[in-house]
Amino acid sequence: MIPGVLVGHHHRVGDGWNTGTTVVLVPAGAVGAVDGRGGAPGTRETDLLDPANLVQQVHAICLSGGSAYGLAAADGVMRWLSERSIGFQVGAQPHHVVPIVPGAVIFDLPMSEWGNRPDASFGYKACAAAAAEFALGCVGAGAGARVGSLKGGIGAFSGRAGEHHIGALAVVNAAGEVVDRTTGLPWLPSLGSSPVSLPERKPDGLNTTIGVVAVDAALSKAECQRLAMAAQDGLARAVRPAHSMFDGDTVFALATGAVPLAEPRAFALDALCTAAADAFAEAVVSGAREATTLNGVQAFRDL
């Protein structure tokens, strides 16, 4: 994604399992924010990201399958970070830290046998696997994802916005479609240009797109929150309908602070927000494009 940001996956596929966890690690810390638009969110530690609250930086974002059960994966992320004395300092000794690990989950329970869902070990192993380069598709939190009538997965996009690096990662598991069911054409041209014949829309209410948009800009928590809000606009461009009562759409924003924001500040921030919307839209498209057929759920690439 961007310098200082690492991504790791851990998943189980087969033998009654189709679920996993993805961790976005920022060991040096980053200003964090969140924007939630769906009517059925599953989240952890999002209140502390409010600009009015004390903690200014986060150390990881945990994205997981397993619905509310999957929030337990963040416990493993905290353990991995605490073993390395990474976190919010609360005491005199270097290891007196509390890692700040907000998270969100997707509802993928019907893709596995009941009781098979991520736990703390998934988060720990995802941290151990974190790197600057990472896999896309049916990996990590995207292992059990679906988008409309198709298989979903992990998607990503990275690029430049003026002087800044920007990256986005999405776990694409929306109730809506990435393609128009009346024409078979994608909402975003980058997914493909030829009509496809879609399978029947999924009946079981699997839903929620979650993800992270990250920049190397030096932003405040309030400015970072504007970035997360803009990324949700990108989601709405790529999936329709989006932000429904049956989705828990949640996007986190991270700012590593490596590059100062130019003046006039408001105009530079606006340009970053525009780029964030574009980047997250492309990440959602990538999640549908990179997914492969799994557990009887067809992928876009196979139609």
Q: Please tell me the predicted confidence (pLDDT) of residue 201.
A: 61
pLDDT in tens, 116-167: 999 999 999 999 999 999 999 999 999 999 998 899 999 999 999 999 999 9
Beta bridge partners of 147: 150
Q: Is 277 exposed, middle or buried (0-12, 13-18, 19+ CB in 10 A)?
A: buried
Extents of the domains making up the chain: 6-302
Please report which confidence band the pLDDT of residue 180 belongs to, taking 50, 70 and 90 as the band edges: confident
Q: Which helix (H) or strand (E) holds 105?
A: strand 103-105
> Which residues touch 98 (CB under 8 Å, ≥6 apart)?
87, 88, 90
Which fold would CATH assign to domain 6-302?
A: L-amino peptidase D-ALA esterase/amidase (3.60.70)
pLDDT in tens, 18-56: 999 999 999 999 999 999 998 999 999 999 999 999 999
Q: Please tell me the predicted confidence (pLDDT) of residue 205.
A: 58
pLDDT in tens, 122-133: 999 999 999 999
Query: Closest Cα to residue 117, out of 153, 68, 151, 70?
Result: 70
Q: Please tell me the predicted confidence (pLDDT) of residue 199.
A: 78
Which tokens go with 97? 């830290």
Residue by residue, DSSP assigns 67-96 as: GGGGGGHHHHHHHHHHTTT-SEE-SSSTT-
Please report which confidence band the pLDDT of residue 204 belongs to, taking 50, 70 and 90 as the band edges: low
Question: pTM of the full predicted structure?
Answer: 0.95
